[in-house]
Structure formats: C-alpha cells, structure tokens
Structure 1
Amino acid sequence: MTPQQRSARKPGRVRRAVTAGAVAFTLSAGGAAAWAVDRYVVPHVEISDVSAYQAGQAGTAADTSAASSGTGGAVTTDSTHVSDSSNISISKVTTGSGDTTVTYYVADVVLSDATALQSAFANNSFGENITENTSAIAADNNAVFAINGDYYGFRDTGIVIRNGVVFRDAGARQGLAFYRDGTVKVYDETTTTAAQLVADGVWNTLSFGPSLLDNGQVAAGIEDVEVDTNFGNHSIQGEQPRTAVGVIDQNHLVFVVVDGRSPGYSAGVTMTGLAGIMQGLGATTAYNIDGGGSSTMYFNGSLVNNPLGQDKERGTSDILYIGQ
C-alpha cells in the first residue's frame, strides 16, 4: 500500500459521520472541533464563477465550443444517445439473489472527440465542501449523461484539471488523466505537475483511486487500500456502492455505478468485485472514484440508478458529463 493510495476518501456513511462527529465534538472540545467543522463542513469558495474562469483561460472557450458543436441531429431513446460527438448505451445488470443480490448500471460510451467528456462543479464554484446533487449539476450544464466525480472538495490535495484548466496542483496520490487524443492513463501525481500534464495534452483528471486493473489484470492489494486517514476516515473496504471508469480502447470508455447497502436490491461490491466487473466489460484500465451515497448515474433528465435503495441522491462536488 502506497502513500498515494492512502490519500483518497471513504465512500458512504463517512461524510455524514464526519459532520455529526464534528458537531458533537464542538460541544466538548472547543477550538479543535471548531477547526474540524470549518475544514470538513463549512463551504470555502475559491472561484465563485467557474464558467467565467475557464473562459478566461487561453484556448478554453474554443475547446469547450468544439466539444459541443457537433451535436446536431442527436437521437436519444430511454437507454441510448447518438450524436456526432458521442454514442452512449445504458444497461442494467443484476446478479445473485436475496441479500447477495448486486445491481449495477453500465454506460458504454464511444466518443468521436475526447473533449466531449467534460467536467462541472457544484454550484459552478470551485473550493472545499461545496456540494450539489449530480442531477442538478447535470441539468445546469445541459448534460445528457453524467456520473458523480471524485469529490475533490472533500480534500485539499490532488491534481485537479478540468476541461483543460488547472484548478489545483497538489499531487498526493494515484490519479487518472483523460487526454485530448482519447487516451486515458493512471499516473502518479507526485511525479509531475498540473502544468506539465496540460502541456502533454491532459483534458481532465480525477484524484481518488485506486487503480483497479493493470493491463487488464486485477491490481494487487486493492482490498488493503486506506484513504483519508484524517478524522478517522481510513478505509473503502467491504461491500459498498461504487463508481468506476474503465478504458476499453481509445475514445471508448465504460462507466459503472454499483448500488449498495440495500439488501434484496443490491448489497454493493468489494474493490475486487468492482475490478471483476470492469474486467468482464473488457476494460484494460479501470479506476475507482467516489462512491457510497454519492454513486450516481444520470441520463436524459433523470436518475438511472437507485442510490442506497432510496431513490435519493447525496450531494457531491463535481461530475463528469456529456452534453446534449
């Protein structure tokens, strides 16, 4: 287990536990608890208008326009979307029975232009502890498809590049980089810089992990990964709701959202189980991102999955999406 692997956050009940614990702490620990509330609960806005900020960066406005300009004549059904820039197919898979039932949703995505896969932040703002439901962020950005992102706003480390623009350069862990040419690579954030990644053609990054597949094989040690050791959040072990990104080929991606913590509908999966799902879909590279109640897939105006078996989303800080 590497220091980079210990740097992501635990999905699920952790975020609520941090909030509740911090409030309780306030009653008994004074200043230390006030710091915890400020660090993990109170929103801290660094950029209040991300759209304007991105447009102000060299080349960004043209890039965003190019990503969305070829969508004339798009055809959308209940489970598919075909346009000049993307071909999306949504499917549901259920395995097992009784309390071992697992339900997950797969989005097979082929892009003609890699920059058609974009990112957006909650409330069009960048900073810590800023949250909004995946479906709301998607609607605000006229998305036809979206999944929750890496919940960058829960931490103050990691390289954050979105739509070709650098928002944070604090390498800490194993990241995922989406390039403008359609390639996607797992990389070590601590060995490079955000500026170098952009110069090399990176369009978006995710900072969570771990990597699930190495050259199509299940990565070693993924059940022992610890994340967010601060404030008691140190594990993403066990059967959990999950979200993952897989790479089948250049410009051919697969996104998976596994529901969980809902016996009889979906128990969730272990990290190894998630790697197996991605492997079975033909991915050669796969990467775990934020999960738990945040694990959400959105398509054509509505939720695809059923978060925690309650049809209720939990706020997140960011999404990956494809526009209408």
Structure 2
Amino acid sequence: MKQFFSKPYRWALIYSSLLSAATAFVLLDAFVIPKSLSAVSATETTTSTSNEETEADVSESVSEQTITEAIVTESSYEDENIQISIETGRSNNTTYYAVDIQVSDASFLKTALAQDTYGRNIKAVTSSIAASHDAILAINGDFYGFRDAGYVLRNGTLYRDTARETEDAEALVIDDEGDFSIISENETSLSSLDTSSIAQIISFGPALIEDGEISVDASSEVSQSMTSNPRTAIGQISPLHYIIIVSDGRTDESEGFSLLQLAEEMQNRGAVTAYNLDGGGSSTLYFNGEIINNPTSGNSTGEREVSDIVYIGYE
C-alpha cells in the first residue's frame, strides 16, 4: 500500500477521479436530481387573501353549470366566463398559433407547478400538468427550475425573491385584477412591490411589447439561442383580454420566429403588453385535452418536461 501511494502519478490519478466525481455530482444536482423545496397547498391557490371571494369560491359557484353548457369546437371554447379562439397562421416560413382569450374574472388566468411542487428539477410535460388541473387551455411557463435566480410568485404565493443579475432581466407581473406590467429585476426589488396584490410573477423574457410599442429589435435574442425558434409568448390586449402566440420551429416545414417577428405578430393583434416565455423544445400549446402545436427541440420531437405552466381554467 505504501509503495502504491509513493508513485506521484497515482496521486494524480486519485485526484483526477475525485474531481470527476465531484463535477458529475454538481451537474446531476443542478440538472437531474429532483429537489423539492415546497409543496403547493390548497391555501396557496388563491390570488389574493384580501378578496372575500377567492378563486376557489369563484370556481365552486360556476364550474358545474358552465362546463356542461360550454360550446367547444376544435379551435374554440365558450361559456359564460371564458371565451377562447385559436387561429392557425403562416408567416416568415413559420407555422404559428394565435389564441385570443377573454375571461370574466382574473382568477381564471392561473399558473401551476409540475407535481404541485416548487423545487429544482421537478418536471412534467405541459399536457400532464394541464390535465391534472382540468385546464381548458395551457402553455409552458418560464421553466423557473432551470435557474437559481429569478422571481417566482405563483397564484399569490411567493416562492423565490432572488433577482437575476443580468442587465436585461425583465419579469412579467400579473396583478390580481389580471393586468400585465413589466419590471426590471435589477431595478425593482420585491420589497418595493405590494406583493399582496400580485397574482403571478414570471421570470424569463424579454418583454416584447410595452405600452403598445415593440421593445425588441432584430438583434434581440435569449442567451445563446438561434435567431429563429419555437416560441411561446403571452400578452394583454385590454382588461381581461389576452393573446397567446406559440410558433413551431427548427423543422423544414416551420423555421421559427425571431423575437422581433414574435413581437410584430403580438402587436398586429392589439397587444399593449407582451412577454416572451420559455421556448425551443419547451414550447407547447394544449387545448381541450390535445396538443395543438408540434413541440420539438430540433433533435427530438414531442413535449419537453418543464417546471410550470400558465393556463386558463376553473380549478
């Protein structure tokens, strides 16, 4: 044994092995090993504790009646509280899906976490999360679990108050009236906001439209992404009136949108505020139990597991 350790290269071999093991563990811990930090409880599904009538009260009072009376087609849904219409379009060698949404109350615009759990690497496909919440329509969210920073506030509950440090880090704030606004995470601390009146804070970006004006240009992109990609974005047209656009991409049939092209489509539909969500292989549009778009990462097809969704529904 003493002779074994007397050889310098053997110490180097041991050190190299330990370093490789440590590196592997760090990568697994960051990207693979699930780590639950908080489970969503029934009391965390309300958007504002100050309201006498909570989301649950709204849902309970109308769900049975409206669901049975809903008029549903392959591209639309309508009941007394929710109206949804989906248009399939073609622009810039890209197939996209534009969803016009009107609701009678902000509580019908919701978010959900994979496995109803906040944490790292807690994931599920969009359709699975949507189905577990009886969502009428759903899209992927911001994939918060892929990062250690970025504000996370969902359905009135704050999970993470750590801001992203990048200069262009913008978050989407949805208040309990359902109105959208954009904040800079570097310039706006959560302590400066009245979080009791906020329903959602989503941290991805960038903002596509602010005050009706396009806020990206031809050079804008997310990190090291390609110029044209599958995209998911959400915007507000007017009070309780929203627009979602999901584009296919990275295929011969559909190239994908740039951020500028995505913003232009949003502006053409009257969005006064619009925000880019996670894209690429995450981009998924779910409606009435079906996947409407064609999710792909470019290398593989089918839904990618994500941390969270944005959806329209009663539960």
| TM tier, smaller | 0.7 to 0.9
In the alignment, structure 1 residue 280 sits paired with structure 2 residue 277: no
Measure, in 1, the Cα distance between the counterparts of 2:106 and 2:48. Answer: 19
CA spacing shift, 1:214–1:54, aligned 2, 3 Å: closer
Measure, in 2, the Cα distance between the counterparts of 1:67 and 1:267. Answer: 42
One-letter amino acid of the counterpart of residue 307, structure 2 = S
In the alignment, structure 1 residue 242 sits paired with structure 2 residue 231: yes
Counterpart mapping for 1:89-104 below 5 A: 89-95=85-91, 101-104=93-96
Q: Does the CA-based 8 Å contact 1:150-1:206 persist in structure 2?
A: yes
Measure, in 2, the Cα distance between the counterparts of 1:254 and 1:146. Answer: 12
Q: CA RMSD in A?
A: 2.6
Which residue of 270, 289, 304 maps to 1:301?
289
Q: Which residue of 2 aligns with 1:9?
A: none
Q: Does the CA-based 8 Å contact 2:47-2:156 persist in structure 1?
A: no
Secondary structure of 1:158's counterpart equals coil
Which residue of 256, 264, 269 maps to 1:268?
256
Shift of 1:84: 2.8
In the alignment, structure 1 residue 42 sits paired with structure 2 residue 44: no
Shift of 1:189: 2.6
Q: Which residue of 2 aligns with 1:192?
A: 189
Q: Which residue of 1 aligns with 2:248?
A: 259
1 or 2 for the larger relative contact order (CA 8 Å, sep ≥6)?
1
In the alignment, structure 1 residue 315 sits paired with structure 2 residue 305: yes
CA spacing shift, 1:313–1:93, aligned 2, 3 Å: same
Deviation digits for residues 216-255 of structure 1 (CA, Å, limit 9, x no counterpart): 222145734453xxxxxxx234111000011111111101
Measure, in 2, the Cα distance between the counterparts of 1:61 and 1:151. Answer: 32
Q: Which residue of 2 aligns with 1:117?
A: 109
Q: Could you state the TM-score of these two structures normalised by the residue count of structure 2?
A: 0.83
In the alignment, structure 1 residue 136 sits paired with structure 2 residue 136: no
**Alignment gaps of 5+ in structure 2:** 1-16
Counterpart mapping for 1:137-156 below 5 A: 137-156=129-148
Secondary structure of 2:128's counterpart equals helix
Q: Could you state the TM-score of these two structures normalised by the residue count of structure 1?
A: 0.81
**Alignment gaps of 5+ in structure 1:** 1-25, 228-234
In the alignment, structure 1 residue 161 sits paired with structure 2 residue 153: yes
One-letter amino acid of the counterpart of residue 28, structure 2 = V
One-letter amino acid of the counterpart of residue 250, structure 1 = P
One-letter amino acid of the counterpart of residue 282, structure 2 = S
Shift of 1:295: 0.2
One-letter amino acid of the counterpart of residue 105, structure 2 = D
CA spacing shift, 1:76–1:197, aligned 2, 3 Å: farther
Deviation digits for residues 64-102 of structure 1 (CA, Å, limit 9, x no counterpart): 214424342332222111123221111111235xxxx20
Deviation digits for residues 32-67 of structure 1 (CA, Å, limit 9, x no counterpart): 3321221122111112x3134616998399522144
Deviation digits for residues 248-291 of structure 1 (CA, Å, limit 9, x no counterpart): 11111101111101112x11111111111111111121110100
Counterpart mapping for 1:64-75 below 5 A: 64-68=55-59, 69-71=61-63, 72-73=65-66, 74-75=70-71
Query: In percent, how many aligned pairs have the same letter?
Result: 38
Secondary structure of 2:251's counterpart equals coil
Secondary structure of 1:34's counterpart equals helix
